[in-house]
Structure 1
């Protein structure tokens, strides 16, 4: 049975949560140590994190969880057409032009002007398409992957593919699948023996949330969503040497807005506020992420405690007994307490070949909605859920 079409997995007019995986070509090093030369490219992980942070400030896409590994990256994303629908035409135009100015960045050194924004606003058909793209997960992944590939190829002095192909997409069907997937993503460095605990797993959402809760701040990578005047842009381009314009643009790229934010400030909040309506868009007003809407029915404190406990269960059969205070977080989702460690650590075994991830009932509902009788992994994952 083949995978469903992307259009079957995600309706871009409805809010959906997906697990996306992008791998480097031939699974070679992406941000790790090149075994041929011994050179460490670990610094590229920060390239990717900052690019994600920048895109989170302009797209109608919530970044729920992420992990940047040596040769691949994981993201859990939620598309927000409801948030994009609340933006004005001017907001849509400036957001799009910040990412896609219409020409290569080396040729277009200035910021989008008021005149360019107005031209896009006046093109109603084009603007409608741009509005749809700003909540499209495929466009988000394209905007993330392509610049990283160009930068890496330029640095390596080579051409050709950097990523092995289109990213893999997996629909998250319910909260049980989301909690297990979020833990799996945050624990990737621990599983790969790159870190001993989530507290040391740099370039993961778990690490960012832990440090953010401790008060750590970073320079914001969010785009400055203010267009310059046409006159100011023209004067600068006429009187400023190209090399100086390039240097100015590079300097501004380090902190476009001049603000500092909590390390996890650009990520979607973890805790879902049950008092808000499910249809409430909750758009972010600070310009650092799409919305202020959470995604899990647990507190950050409980999530981190469960994450740390699960990280310690690295050996098969070790520490099966979940601490009593945390048992309710797992059992309320129908997950067998004795199978929680196995569900997270062996997430790939249960869901690796499936087009979706979730409880057996959630996967069954997704199969029905996509015109199928069943999906891969549906029977196997039933082992992890209480009858």
Structure 2
């Protein structure tokens, strides 16, 4: 039986989560449907645009994403400090970017007088909004529901578009985060949808590569900040250049026609994470098969399970690949 979502999310253990949604039966999110002959590539634009829009609303950052033919991946970072620093008016304004709200919240957003007997109800409503704006379940709901409605309208049908609820994995340490990001970014290459990372349309790695050519980083994605944590309060504590080189080299190795080894210049991240090349390739290509639950070193997995009172450490044997 699936565990309740609240028993899988623990911000005390990690703010990073890998989420995946898959379409039901033969429904196609994008690409060619061999049964009908229809092409759905335009739907990839729908999902990417919506992902980028939602990062401007929620206190949730996107570290990586990939839109495949019948499923999508996102690696999310919950920014609890940001949502806690938002004023009550900020929370209402953010919520109104997606939802209508009610008469009371609109009065408050416009700075109009709130009657004394309405204050308690307003405070309660704002508290609900604040909690939802840092909730990955609400993020995925706002991502999946509009896509399902658009696709069903386009297909002139009704009913379920996504396979039940989305799957989520807690990423318990920086090695798990980097391995999961690389796995997501390399999805199109493993599926022969693209030859190189920069040619992988509608993925975070393509966005990062395009921005890097201009000496920039995508504003809508969680940035790489190297080791400069003091000057940049949030971000991935690795060099963007090292990550792009690592993903590119890994992609070349897993391609049948480009067998080789990961370059020494790309091994800076692996050396820091203390992961050898063989194990890294295993993680980058088989992450989805190795882990169906929380991901991290055996020590971090044990702490996480004890904290959430989980009786079993599922897929604990796969933790050996983080060495």
Taking structure 2 as the reference length, what is the TM-score of the superposition?
A: 0.88
Task: Give the aligned partner of residue 225 of structure 2.
Answer: 271
User: How many Å apart are 1:64 and its aligned residue?
Assistant: 0.7
Whether the 8 Å CA contact 2:243–2:266 is kept in 1: the answer is no
Task: Give the aligned partner of residue 376 of structure 1.
Answer: 314
Task: Give the aligned partner of residue 339 of structure 1.
Answer: 279
- Partners of 2:198 and 2:299 in 1: how far apart? 34
Task: Give the aligned partner of residue 59 of structure 1.
Answer: 58
Deviations 1:160-182, CA, capped at 9 Å, x for gaps: 11111110010001011111100
Task: Give the aligned partner of residue 294 of structure 1.
Answer: 235
Tell me the number of residue pairs that the alignment of Structure 1 and Structure 2 aligns.
Answer: 315
Task: Give the aligned partner of residue 302 of structure 2.
Answer: 364
User: How many Å apart are 1:37 and its aligned residue?
Assistant: 2.3
Tell me the C-alpha RMSD between the 2 structures: 2.7
Q: Secondary structure at the match of 1:166?
A: coil
Q: Secondary structure at the match of 1:332?
A: helix
Task: Give the aligned partner of residue 27 of structure 2.
Answer: 28
- Partners of 1:182 and 1:53 in 2: how far apart? 17
Q: Secondary structure at the match of 1:25?
A: coil
Q: Quickly say closer, same or farther: Cα 1:361–1:275, change in 2 above 3 A.
A: same
| Correspondences of 1:307-326 after superposition (within 5 Å) | 307-314=247-254, 319=259, 321-326=261-266
Task: Give the aligned partner of residue 267 of structure 2.
Answer: 327
Q: Which stretches of structure 1, 4 residues or more, deviate above 4 A after TM superposition?
A: 12-15, 112-122
| Correspondences of 1:1-387 after superposition (within 5 Å) | 4-11=3-10, 16-26=15-25, 28-102=27-101, 122=119, 123-215=122-214, 264-276=218-230, 282=233, 293-295=234-236, 297-314=237-254, 319=259, 321-351=261-291, 354-372=292-310, 374-382=312-320, 384-386=321-323
Deviations 1:244-269, CA, capped at 9 Å, x for gaps: xxxxxxxxxxxxxxxxxx78221111
Whether the 8 Å CA contact 1:13–1:81 is kept in 2: the answer is no
Structure 2 runs not aligned, ≥5 long: none
User: How many Å apart are 1:376 and its aligned residue?
Assistant: 2.0
- Partners of 1:322 and 1:14 in 2: how far apart? 32
User: How many Å apart are 1:315 and its aligned residue?
Assistant: 5.5
Structure 1 runs not aligned, ≥5 long: 104-111, 217-261, 283-292
Deviations 1:97-145, CA, capped at 9 Å, x for gaps: 1101149xxxxxxxx9666655899511111111111111100110111
